Structure 1
Amino acid sequence: MKKIVFLMPHDGIVPSGGYKVVYEYANRLAKENFSVTIVYPNTKKDHSTSLENKLRDFARYIIRGVNKGYRSRWFDLDQRIELKWVWSLDDYRPQGSCCVVATAVETAFSLKRYPACIRKFYFIQDFENWYYPDQQVFESYHFPMKKIVIAKWLQQIVISCGETATVIPNGFDFTSFSCQSPIERRDKYTIICMYHIDKRKGMDVAFKAFARVYSRIPQIKVILFSVYDRPNDLPGYCDFIKQPTVSLLNQLYNKASIYVGPSHVEGWGLTVGEAMQCGCAVACTDNKGYLEMARDEETALTSPIGDAESLAENIIRFIEDDALRVRIASNGESFIHNCDIDSSYVRFRNLLMTANQND
């Protein structure tokens, strides 16, 4: 079987860690001469049916269909990959024999409706209860699809539902991010952090921690990068870069000594791994996604979720103790090489080709 279809929850125009993983796999499948299709829906499942929303959806469908506005401009997708813009995933039907991969809760509900002859897979990268209640997320885990999860904590959730799932950890592309600046020579006062508007990402905790650090060490410089607009009233010690290219982001990571991950929850935490690739010492919360990579006092310094004081103290420890910073950063950079995207891809590809549908 040579045809693979990925069902995405929405367009791919904004950078996303989850989309990046799918795109990495799609590129590698295309390079091995698989027929790969990525399908984007114009309307989300259970979207409001008000007249205003219907008109907005229709206008977006026409405009993006004409100008190809659903295509990613932040990730270099292989030209052999077919990109399809459809009104709704519920109405889409792939042609011929193929593997179809749901990549989010709503896409799993759509895939459930497809003919039984299709080989169905459910790629789970987080416990996605931000749009759906927990019960509906659990319901999706019971669908007759082969489940693939990116972390052991997600596997345990699926198992708790009486189902099975295969763990294929996310990997990193070491041609995109790498340690190019000697760790021991970096400005110890330079910190980097991804800014996000989602409350689950813990930016309120990050800013409280930065303020505590600044009150003791006013030399700090914080680099914030984001897909979102610059927030109002940023402290003077913060620089903000919107949608940096991969090359620029690699430079920013290599400029910084410390990466701060404040999230309350992460499926995996790609930016923590990217920062480790580039030689940053990681100070982060102990959410289950980060802990796939962040081993306290070994590859990172971890603090309780929501604890700005503890996070600040870990940042201060890195600034005041060069030996600690260099040791943790070096350990992280060495450890993260175990998470190679090519190894993960081979496991992903082989599972698609060999899994029994009723596993």
Structure 2
Amino acid sequence: MLPGSGHLPVGGFKVVYEYAGRLAARGHQVRVVHVAQPDLEAPLLAALKARARYAQRRLQRSYLPRWFALHPAVEVLWRATPDARGVPDGDAVIATAWQTAEWVARYPAAKGRGFYLIQHYETWSGPRARVDATFRLPLRKLAIARWLQRVVADAVGPDGEGAAYLPNGLDLDAFGLDSPIEGREPRAMMLFHTAAWKGSGDGLRALERVRAELPELRATLFGVPAPPPGLPAWVRYVQTPPPEVLRGLYNESAVFLATSWTEGWGLPGCEALLCGCALAATEVGGHLEYARHGETALLSPPKDPGALARNVLTLLQNPPLRVTLARQGHRYVQRFSWERAVARLEALLSGGELSAQPDS
């Protein structure tokens, strides 16, 4: 169950669609339920807007994820609220956000065993006490990162049930090496996002500092929003690139900047590594799933454009180091295959228990 419609690309939604399609390919009947108003305690104006969006998107069928090639056997449902009457019966039902977890925990047994896929510590979208309370609900919790396991453990206490470790998968066919790592021009790349905690402003300031030292630098930004105003001529912006275009952008870049102040996982950093970029990332929990300082990336504190710039400059001015980190990062992220991720989820849905860390 997803909060909101699927009309725009969202990393967490992409993960859910991948699982849905791959489970369907294994013979399971899968439905993805999108909910227009997941939080029924929202203010009246927000609730009225959500209901209006529900009616409009239902009429236009614009809730569908047209940006993602969803498996044809997966049924996508659009509901006004998470009320159990709008959810089909089944063997398992999975909440994917704190708002939907509150509902799924109260569903009757006919809806299936309740699970909670935790992709971030969502205090940016709700009060901390309310988010923490969802970790104590009678749901089987699945955390995509080790730092999220620790967050859940702190919330439930020593006597509560923690979260199983379910790391994301990567599409090893959609992203890969097409151009040699060694000969890449001094081009940097980063995701642009309007949410402050994504750190895009820090990334732009870091790139400006690098450019002052390295005038031949060129940069590529991509994202869903319109381009930020005032971009200099040496910065190119590509809005909502399809996967094949995004792969090409990664492959022409030497360094990728992962700038978030917090991150559940950080899919773009992984995709960049698959395509041969060296990674300059903030040292936050979601990046640490694959970013090891001096081994697969160079790390800097979040909210520190100066330190981020120094790492980018180091990578661009030291080609042997850049190539080494890019190659080691490329090898490291190969372990995160979708085949393994789906096998782990399938085992958990059937009531199995897994080790804390998958084999490399």
TM range (shorter): over 0.9
Matches within 5 A, 1:324-335: 324-335=321-332
Do structure 1's residue 307 and structure 2's residue 304 form an aligned pair?
A: yes
Contact 1:90-1:113 within 8 A present in 2 as well: no
Which runs of 5 or more residues in structure 2 are unaligned? 354-360
How far off its partner does 1:53 sit? 5.4
State the distance in 2 between where 1:343 and 1:53 align. 40
How far off its partner does 1:74 sit? 1.1
How far off its partner does 1:63 sit? 2.4
Match of 2:140 among 131, 137, 146: 146
Contact 2:33-2:87 within 8 A present in 1 as well: no
Matches within 5 A, 1:275-314: 275-314=272-311
Contact 1:253-1:275 within 8 A present in 2 as well: yes
Do structure 1's residue 171 and structure 2's residue 169 form an aligned pair?
A: yes
Match of 1:136 among 130, 135, 139: 130
Do structure 1's residue 87 and structure 2's residue 85 form an aligned pair?
A: no
Do structure 1's residue 113 and structure 2's residue 112 form an aligned pair?
A: no
Contact 2:295-2:329 within 8 A present in 1 as well: yes
TM-score (norm 2): 0.93
Tell me, what secondary structure is at the counterpart of 1:218? coil
How far off its partner does 1:205 sit? 1.1
Which runs of 5 or more residues in structure 1 are unaligned? 1-6
Deviations 1:130-155 (A, max 9, x none): 12111111100010010000111111
State the distance in 2 between where 1:80 and 1:115 align. 26
1:213–1:92 CA distance, 2 compared to 1 (3 A): farther
Match of 1:349 among 338, 346, 349: 346
Do structure 1's residue 273 and structure 2's residue 266 form an aligned pair?
A: no
Matches within 5 A, 1:10-25: 10-25=4-19
Alignment: residue pair count: 347
Deviations 1:186-230 (A, max 9, x none): 11x101100000100111211111111111111111100001111
State the distance in 2 between where 1:227 and 1:262 align. 16
Do structure 1's residue 205 and structure 2's residue 202 form an aligned pair?
A: yes
Matches within 5 A, 1:227-242: 227-242=224-239
Tell me, what secondary structure is at the counterpart of 1:348? helix
Deviations 1:93-117 (A, max 9, x none): 4333420000011110111221145
1:44 counterpart residue number: 38
How far off its partner does 1:91 sit? 4.8
Deviations 1:262-312 (A, max 9, x none): 110001111110000000000011011101110001000001111111111
State the distance in 1 between where 2:263 and 2:109 align. 33
Match of 1:59 among 52, 56, 60: 52
Q: Which amino acid aligns with 2:13?
A: Y
Contact 2:37-2:47 within 8 A present in 1 as well: no
TM-score (norm 1): 0.94
